[in-house]
Amino acid sequence: MLMISGDSMKKHIVVKQKHLYTEERNLMFEGQAFFSNSDGCLRLSYTERGSNTMVSVEAEEEELRIKRDGELMTRLTFQHKKQTTGSVLSEFGTIDIGVFTHKYIKRENIIAIEYDILSGDEVTDGYRILWILKEDKA
């Protein structure tokens, strides 16, 4: 099947998270995700199992945006070697979250970020997240 740039299709992905300071690892998702790649922006969307959280990822050359819609609604933006501010919306209101991105890598079959979560100037947590895009087997 011929894919035209920007067409949406399904792709098998694996999403892994590692806490940078405790080394704790978590398999966040493995399965089929909607995938598109147009104008240099790679888009993924999937539902995390167990939490029924809808996740949308937009990876451009200079930044990565994550939207998570579940019990909490999270909006985060990551830019290599920069501090950005995101938000978490819960039943109690909206909380601003600072993040500092140590690494942001976007390749054809992998997206990776390493970042710290900030409270003021204090680091409260740090994570690495990998999105591994695999070719579907015919």
Domain 9-127: state its class.
mainly beta
| 7 pLDDT tier (thresholds 50, 70, 90) | low
Q: List pLDDT tens digits, range 29-43.
A: 999 999 999 998 999
Residues contacting 63, CB < 8 A, separation 6+: 77, 78, 79, 104
Q: List pLDDT tens digits, range 59-105.
A: 999 999 999 999 999 999 999 999 999 999 999 999 999 999 999 99
What pLDDT, on the 0 to 100 scale, is given for residue 6? 52
Rounded to two decimals, the pTM is 0.88
Q: What residue ranges do the domains of the chain occupy?
A: 9-127
Nearest CA to 128 among 115, 110, 111? 115
The more confidently predicted of residues 108 and 50 is 108
